[in-house]
Structures are given as structure tokens and as C-alpha cells.
Amino acid sequence: MAKKLFGTDGIRGTANKWPMTAENALQIGAAAGRYFRNDGSNGHRVVIGKDTRLSGYMFENALTAGLTSTGMNVLLLGPIPTPAVGLLTTSMRADVGIMISASHNPHHDNGIKFFGPDGFKLSDAAEAEIEALIAGDILPVQPNNIGRAKRIDDGRFRYAERLKSTFPHGMRLDGLKVVIDCANGAAHRVAPEVLWELGAEVIPVGVSPNGFNINEGCGSTNTRAAAETIVAHGAHVGICLDGDADRIMIIDEKGVVADGDQIMALFATRWAAQGRLAHDTLVATVMSNLGLENFLESKGLHLKRTAVGDRHVVSEMRSGGYNLGGEQSGHIVMTDYGTTGDGLAAGLQFLAAMIETGAPASALARNFDTVPQMLKNVRFNDGQDPLGAASVKSAITAAETAVQGRGRILIRKSGTEPLIRVMAECDDDGLLTQVVDGIVAEISAVTAA
């Protein structure tokens, strides 16, 4: 069946509007319970984590009600990063893990992500089966089979210990002054704690969540505050996470931002030199810069591209036996250490490189020259299909012809928001602007009609 609820990263939308309503969350929980409690026993578990959005309380309670009504036992982790949910799903022997978060989106959005018992995000097939159950009648269990709910108070400490184990044994961060921007999100406590315990002088930013300020003027999608803090305090490096801490941006000692492509380039070359990069291959999406691809080829390494979304990256990594992948947006997936993007784990790997090489962040975060790239978003309304319009198709074809041999065009719908993303790369800045603006103008005309 065609998926209606699930997008590229679970279910997401504006809180108190379909599909992110309390009523729908209860049905989603009940459907997930029916799907995973498939033998009728009462020994099945689900762990639930969340970020710091106000609506997280509502969805946590609604999901718990639905899950327990179908006999699932619920373990509530409270505010905790998304990668911690993947980890704790396996370590606590749960049948399913759920993260309540809209990642880098503003506070008024929220989402529901599912992890299977192996700690990896659910497959499309499993999501489709759960969606089919939601569309039908979900029978509750008999009163004596109702599930229990329990709060787990040490989830973040378990995650913190796992994070520290990914850092080279015996290495410390003594003498490093690190700015950590937690986006007023899920890592606002665990990230500063881990860095401090490893010996760093920690300067925290975005660690005062109030339910409304997640990702607001801070975090991986708004790095200005962290950059200014680095320069003001003379810090050696900055680590910027997003709301659920599965993304990272690195900021060097000069306040300059390095995105996921630059971070992956560093890790790929270092791991290859150490004999750790599986099949000498990095997995990234179609959004990664051509400069990254050219750089890897110059080092005798390979780049495999996937559709946008860390779940597609992870799927390719698992099927091909690769251990490093990610996205330009900052998801860095290291399957040696975890099952999904982990911003803080990636940050620790970057800090380890600084210690091992003695090089400043600016030297490690500039691995290749990027091909000029431009990305613009055009919002559209429900029911519209701007990409199906003849005028838009014509504009895209003309743009592809114009940059042939000099770059590329990528047009796609966002999987998490009602946006058309228009991305192009070209070695000619003027031509780049011309083709992107031309496509955006045609799409905007269609959406406004």
C-alpha cells in the first residue's frame, strides 16, 4: 500500500494537526503494539525517548496509552538523543524503540521515529504493515494483559558510557576548550557531561530548554551563536548538534563552519590510512558536494550515493558491508559505534583527530574545495504537485542542458516538510544562480496559481 503517514524519517508534522495529534499517536502506539506483540505474551517491551519540545509530553502519554492497551510494556527514557534510543533498544532487549522528535524542525513540529529490535530504523515494509493496522480496527487486550509503564532514570548515563567507549582508550581532552551547542534539545545534559568527563574545558550553548526554544537561534542549523562564542572565548573548536543530536556541524577556532561532507572526508581518509574503512568506501547521498566525490577519487577511495535520508544511507551500508556514511546536513553514521547518525559520537572522533595530529580544527575541517552549490526551497500547499507542471519540467530540462558537463541539477520533495528543494552545482557561479532562480521562479508561479 502507498504510505500516507510515514515519510523519509518516520511520521512528522505540526503538533495538534494531523498526523501529529494525540488521538493519532494513541492509534499509532496501539498499531505498533499489535505489530510487535505478535505471540500474545506479556513479555514484550518498548523504549520511548523524546527531545525537549513541549508537545513531547502529550505524545509520550498518548503512545504509552496505545502501547499498553495492546499489552506492551513501556520503558520511558525521558529527554535523550535519538542515537541513545537505538542503543538502548538493543541493550534493554526491547522489541521496538520510539523517538519522539522532529529533529532540526522548530518547536511547533514533532515526529515519531521507530527502531527495530536490532537498533536500526524500521524498514519501509514494516512501516507499511503498521500503517495498515492503523487503518483498521485494533483490538485491545483483555484487562489482565494490559501492559505496564515504567520510567528509566539512568538512560542517559548508559548512553554516556557507550559514547566514552568510542573514544580512544587512555586519551583525554585536557587542554582543549570546546564549545558545545546542544540546540536546547535532547543532548543538553549528556553532551556537556561527556566532554567534561573526558577532560575538556566545556563552554555550553543551547542548554536551557523551555519547551519552545529547541533549534531556535542555535544548533546545527543556526551556528552563529556558537561561532561567536568560540571567537569570544578563544575556544579550540565548536560542536553543534541539532534538536535530537543525530546531526553535527563542526566550527573551527576561527568561527568557520564545516558541514557533514568535510567531516566525512576527514574520517574516510583517516580510517582508510588506519585500515578501518570497509571496502575503501564512503556512503553519502545525492546531496553531497561533487568536491567530496573528486577528493575521495584522488585518494583512491570510493563514494556510493543514495537517496536523501539517513535511513537510505544506513540501508546501503548494511547491504554492502560499509561502516562509514552520512549526509551533508550532518548525519554521520558509524556502524562500528552505533545504528544511526550520532552527532556527539562524530564530534568525539573529530576531537580525537585533533589530539592525535596536534592540528587545529581549521586544518582538519578543510579537506577539499567545494564545487559551488546552491540550494533553495519552495513551499507548496497540500494537494499540489508543482513538479508535474509542464512549465516546471521544461525549466528543469533547460537547466540540466545548461550545466551538462559542468555540474548537476537535483530537484526533490522534502520528506519531512511541504517543500520542493532545488539544488544545483556548477563551476560557474553566474550560471549556477541563473539555473536555480529559473527553476524556483517556475515552481513558485505554479504554487501561487
Query: pLDDT (tens digit, 9 = 90+) per residue, 28-43?
Result: 999 999 999 988 888 8
Q: What is the mean pLDDT of residues 176-195?
A: 98
Residue 409 near residue 435, CB atoms below 8 Å: yes
pLDDT at 365: 97
Give all domains of the chain, ordered by start, each with its CATH number. 11-153 (3.40.120.10), 158-255 (3.40.120.10), 258-364 (3.40.120.10), 373-448 (3.30.310.50)
pLDDT at 46: 98
Closest by CA position to 64, among listed 13, 22, 106:
22
Statement: residue 166 has pLDDT above 60: yes
Statement: residue 2 has pLDDT above 50: no
Closest by CA position to 247, among listed 157, 336, 149, 346:
346
Predicted confidence (pLDDT) per residue in 319-361, tens digit: 999 999 999 999 999 999 999 999 999 999 999 999 999 999 9
Statement: residue 236 has pLDDT above 60: yes
153 burial level (CB within 10 Å; 0-12, 13-18, 19+): exposed
- DSSP character string of 73-88: EEEEEEE--HHHHHHH
Q: What is the mean pLDDT of residues 206-220?
A: 98
Q: CA-based angle 447:423:290, to the nearest 5?
A: 170
Number of helices and strands (H, E) in the chain? 14, 18
Predicted confidence (pLDDT) per residue in 92-111, tens digit: 999 999 999 999 999 999 99
| Percent of the chain with pLDDT strictly greater than 70 | 99
Can you tell me the distance from the alpha carbon of 76 to that of 70, in angstroms, rounded to the nearest whole number? Answer: 17
- Mean pLDDT, rounded, of the chain: 95
Query: Is 55 a catalytic site residue?
Result: no
Statement: residue 1 has pLDDT above 80: no
Can you tell me the distance from the alpha carbon of 141 to that of 441, in angstroms, rounded to the nearest whole number? Answer: 55
Q: Which of 103, 220, 315, 329 is catalytic?
A: 103
- Radius of gyration for the chain, computed over Cα atoms and rounded to the nearest angstrom: 22
Statement: residue 294 has pLDDT above 80: yes
3-state secondary structure of 361: helix
Least confident of 47-51, 113-117, 403-407: 403-407
Residue 231 near residue 116, CB atoms below 8 Å: no
Backbone torsions φ then ψ of 290, nearest 5 degrees: -60, -30
DSSP, res 144: G
pLDDT at 3: 52
| Percent of the chain with pLDDT strictly greater than 90 | 90
| Strand-pair category, 11-14 with 45-50 | unpaired
Predicted confidence (pLDDT) per residue in 333-344, tens digit: 999 999 999 999
pLDDT at 120: 96
Q: What is the mean pLDDT of residues 438-445?
A: 96
pLDDT at 25: 98
Statement: residue 381 has pLDDT above 90: no
Going from the C-alpha of 204 to that of each of 81, 177, 355, the distances in angstroms are 17, 11, 21
pLDDT at 209: 98
pLDDT at 382: 76
Q: What is the mean pLDDT of residues 265-271?
A: 98
Least confident of 93-107, 136-150, 377-391: 377-391
Can you tell me the distance from the alpha carbon of 52 to that of 321, in angstroms, rounded to the nearest whole number? Answer: 35
Q: What is the mean pLDDT of residues 357-374?
A: 96
